[in-house]
Amino acid sequence: MPELPEVETVRRDLQAHLVGRTIESVSIGREDILRSTDCARLVAALTGHEVLSVGRLGKNLIVELSGDTVVLVNLGMTGQFFVCEACAEIDEHAHLVAELSDGMRLVFRDIRRFGHIELARAQSVGESFTLRNVGVDAMSDEFTAERLEEMLAGRSALLKNALLDQRRVAGLGNIYVCEALFRARISAVARCGELAPEEVQRLHRAIREVLRESIAAEGTTISDYVTGRGVPGSFQERLRVYGREGERCRRHGCTGTITRIVQSNRPTFHCPECQSSGGMNRGESY
DNA sequence: CGGACAACCTGGTTGC
DNA sequence: TGCAACCAGGTTGTCC
């Protein structure tokens, strides 16, 4: 579920509502969500410590605590990480609950448990399990059109797969890759190496634009995602292709129909009519 | 290198 | 109604 805009929304909420608070107590319901640590060590690292900052790299949250410790959180598909009133209801999917010095509560909840929490030393976060394979963040200044061009140059891989690969550009998931390709009018079946420089520029702009707009809307809620305050986002209303199979293409002047295909076992939504760039010379049009 | 696939999980939806 | 099959925003590892 959570891609860059959702994780950035959570980060902003936690930056506002967690930083400066001290964690007074922690209870962990399931040890299998922990990486590179165990209940006892995580409880010790959190209890009595102040939250100094909440950062993000790609889809990962980086919570810096007093005591030279960093807690890394990846939300997987259904993970939620939010601050709520201490009286709010807690169910069996809340795997970590921390009481805060201001009387609020921090909850990590994850139905499918694809998410995880890792404990790392502040000076070696880069070598952590969670961050060691993460590339340049899609919203950072280092992610330029030139950088994107380098990533794609000469490669035969499916463009969509390359954009989903967190080791290259970090933060995009299935929804925003579909949306960015649509906005850039690039074929959903294009290969990395066949994009013209101008198409790479367009793709770069489209990626930044869709991520920025979604962050402004506090992310996309399809089923489980909530912000760091526990409420849904609203960008689902503004998706142009994702989940819109069978609908008329929303591009002005295009009479195409949004189509769902499967690539690498994951659904791709696109308009075969107006997403044509990058796929012109492959003889795959019909 | 690239892609296909399984695995890790639960729960909602679909179809017989 | 019941139940099996299938589907889902992610990541990692294996195999070919």
Q: How far is residue A118's CA from residue A167's CA, in Å, rounded to a whole number?
A: 19
The mean predicted confidence, pLDDT, of chain A is 95
Kindly indicate whether the domain formed by A136-270 is annotated with CATH number 1.10.8.50. yes
Q: Please, which positions of strand B sit below 7 A from a protein CB?
A: 1-6, 8-12
Q: How many CB atoms lie under 10 A from the CB of residue A246?
A: 8
Q: Is A147 a catalytic residue?
A: no
The pTM of this model reads 0.96
Give A172's contacts (C-beta < 8 A, 6+ positions apart). Answer: A3, A4, A138, A163, A164, A180, A207, A211
Q: How far is residue A27's CA from residue A104's CA, in Å, rounded to a whole number?
A: 14
Q: Is A132 a catalytic residue?
A: no
Checking each nucleotide's C1' against the CA of A266, the nearest proves to be C8
The per-residue pLDDT for A87 is 85
Instruction: Tell me the C-alpha to C-alpha distance, in Å, between residue A10 and each of A18, A40, A82, A195, A255.
Output: 11, 26, 7, 34, 38
Write out pLDDT tens, residues A28-62. Answer: 999 999 999 999 999 999 999 999 999 999 999 99
Strand C-proximal protein residues, Cβ less than 7 Å:
A 1-3, 6, 58-59, 74, 76-77, 112, 114, 129-130, 133, 164, 166, 173-175, 219-225, 266-267
List the strands of the sheet with A23-28, edge to edge. Answer: A23-28, A94-100, A104-110, A79-85
Band the pLDDT of A285: cuts 50, 70, 90: very low
The per-residue pLDDT for A279 is 52
The per-residue pLDDT for A278 is 75
A165 is near strand B: CB distance < 7 Å: no
- CATH 1.10.8.50 range(s) for chain A read 136-270
A89 is near strand B: CB distance < 7 Å: no
Q: Quick one: A4-127 is in which CATH superfamily? A: MutM-like, N-terminal (3.20.190.10)
Q: With H, G, I as helix, E, B as strand and everything else as coil, classify residue A194.
A: helix
**Residue A223 · residue A243 · CB < 8 Å:** no
Widest CA span in chain A: 64
The per-residue pLDDT for A41 is 96
Write out pLDDT tens, residues A64-101. Answer: 999 999 999 999 999 999 999 998 889 999 999 999 99
Instruction: Tell me the C-alpha to C-alpha distance, in Å, between residue A149 and each of A83, A121, A178, A205, A269.
Output: 40, 34, 19, 12, 24
Instruction: Report CA(A243)–C1'(B13) in Å, whole number.
Output: 15
Q: Give the mean model confidence (pLDDT) for residues A203-211.
A: 98
Band the pLDDT of A284: cuts 50, 70, 90: very low
Instruction: Report CA(A198)–C1'(B9) in Å, whole number.
Output: 42
The per-residue pLDDT for A12 is 98
**Residue A209 · residue A238 · CB < 8 Å:** no
Rounded-to-5 percentages of helix, strand, coil across chain A: 30, 25, 45
- CATH 3.20.190.10 range(s) for chain A read 4-127
**Pairing of the two strands A51-57 and A34-35:** unpaired
Band the pLDDT of A283: cuts 50, 70, 90: very low
Q: Is the pLDDT of residue A232 over 60?
A: yes
A113 is near strand B: CB distance < 7 Å: yes
